[in-house]
Structure 1
Amino acid sequence: MLTKAQKLRARRKAQLGRPRKVDAERFACGKIKPKWSQQDSEKEATAVALAARKRMHGLDTRSALAGYTLGRLFLDGRISEQQRDAGDDYAAAMVRYYHLTGIPFPSVRAQQIGHVRGHAGEPSEDRALKVKKAADRMMRLEGLLLGCEEGRQVKATVFNVCVMDYEGLRMMPEAQLEWLKRGLNVLLFEKALREHGKAAI
């Protein structure tokens, strides 16, 4: 028979820490597996991102267009869908140019610092041709933007919205918005000519 002190010790020992989970599924190391699934964690992350988007940008939408400044301008109704498409095409051309030439992308928001590097010393003929085509297209697009009325402002505004993705430009004044629209319209015309030329071939 146990003494009173032994009973008290046994009761205290039983009360130490949390009670053991008997039927819990465990990893090989003994750690208990969490009950949430991958799908639940994705839903939670999406909910947090959507709440932050609504709080920061005032947009209650799941659309990918709300994730960048040009898309938000379109969702605000300040530019047309065709203009947004032309801006996306311009941004893709600039990204291709920076990627192929090895020039670091100018926006820290849109790059991984540790992955910026140039290409090997002797590029292949195929890569050199791709670099030349990307550089020619970039220079042609910049020439079109500079050829607009008030070309320097137009080029800077289009570049800062489409490539640099400056959030502050979402609330740009009407005069600057006109520069953006002028540049996007020129890019839209060039895109239509290029696609029409490809379709004709």
Structure 2
Amino acid sequence: MSSKASKLRIKRATRAGRPRKENVDRYPGGQIKHSETEKEVKAVAIEALKRVHGVDYHASGYSGYTLGRLFMDGKVNKQQLEAGDYYAEQMARYYSAVGVAFPSARAQDLFSISGFGGETTAEQARRARAASNKMMELEGVLLRCQDGPRVKSTVFNVCVMDYEGMRTMPETQLLWLTRGLNALIWHRGLVVEGKSAY
């Protein structure tokens, strides 16, 4: 016969914490086997977007990143959005070509970061040189703006680093962002038309 105290202990132990999940695969030790599908993971991420950012992912693909949400808020126009996307694409191409890890941890697999080995092919060197030149050209465009270093860091933080806090930036910082994006629009237009930007 068990004592009254041991019965109470057993009763308390069974009621403590969350109720036990039923109808799930378990390991022999009792732990739940986590076999989430891609669809389930995506559903959780979409629900978090709705809850945290107050945007509907299905309404627009722009809700997935900070510059897109700024566009949805009406703080940047369509041309500025495209210029920011172009800048982010060129920076990603630069980081990929030179073998440097992408600076935003949210945009990479932290366990697969590695640079290139000691030997590079002529094609890799050409690609890295072209990407570096393009990156320096775009940074030069931003630095030549009024308040250049601030403009460059603001555009970088929004477009490349994708900091969510930048969505609520003050008016002065929003002015730097739009100034940089407008400079990128102007520069890209000159490049597309085949004219020298200088």
TM bracket, shorter-chain basis = 0.7 to 0.9
Q: Partner residue of 1:16?
A: none
TM-score after normalising by structure 2: 0.75
Q: Partner residue of 2:72?
A: 75
Unaligned runs of 5+ in 2: 1-36
Q: Partner residue of 2:133?
A: 136
Q: 1:49 aligns with which of 45, 60, 85?
A: 45
What amino acid maps onto 1:115 in structure 2? S
1:195, CA displacement in angstroms?
1.9
CA contact 2:97–2:131 (8 Å) conserved in 1: yes
Correspondences of 1:171-190 after superposition (within 5 Å): 171-190=168-187
Q: 2:54 aligns with which of 58, 62, 79?
A: 58
Q: Partner residue of 1:149?
A: 146
Q: 2:166 aligns with which of 157, 169, 193?
A: 169
Q: 2:91 aligns with which of 90, 94, 98?
A: 94
What amino acid maps onto 2:49 in structure 1? R
Structure 1 residues 23-44: Cα deviation after superposition (integer angstroms, max 9, x where no partner): xxxxxxxxxxxxxxx8xx73x5
1:47, CA displacement in angstroms?
4.3
Q: Partner residue of 2:192?
A: 195
1:51, CA displacement in angstroms?
2.5
What amino acid maps onto 1:143 in structure 2? G
Which one has the largest radius of gyration?
1
CA contact 2:83–2:185 (8 Å) conserved in 1: yes
Q: Quick one: distance in 1 between partners of 2:185 and 2:80?
A: 6
Runs ≥4 residues deviating over 6 A: none
Count matched residues: 158
Instruction: Point out the more displaced range, 131-140 or 114-123.
Output: 114-123
Q: What SS class does the counterpart of residue 161 from structure 2 fall into?
A: coil
What amino acid maps onto 2:149 in structure 1? R
Unaligned runs of 5+ in 1: 1-37
Q: Partner residue of 1:116?
A: 113
Q: Quick one: distance in 2 between partners of 1:141 and 1:72?
A: 23
Q: What is the identity percentage for the equivalent residue pairs of Structure 1 and Structure 2? A: 53
TM-score after normalising by structure 1: 0.74
1:53, CA displacement in angstroms?
1.1
Q: What SS class does the counterpart of residue 152 from structure 2 fall into?
A: helix
Q: Quick one: distance in 2 between partners of 1:112 and 1:139?
A: 26
1:193, CA displacement in angstroms?
1.8
Q: What SS class does the counterpart of residue 193 from structure 2 fall into?
A: helix
What amino acid maps onto 1:54 in structure 2? K
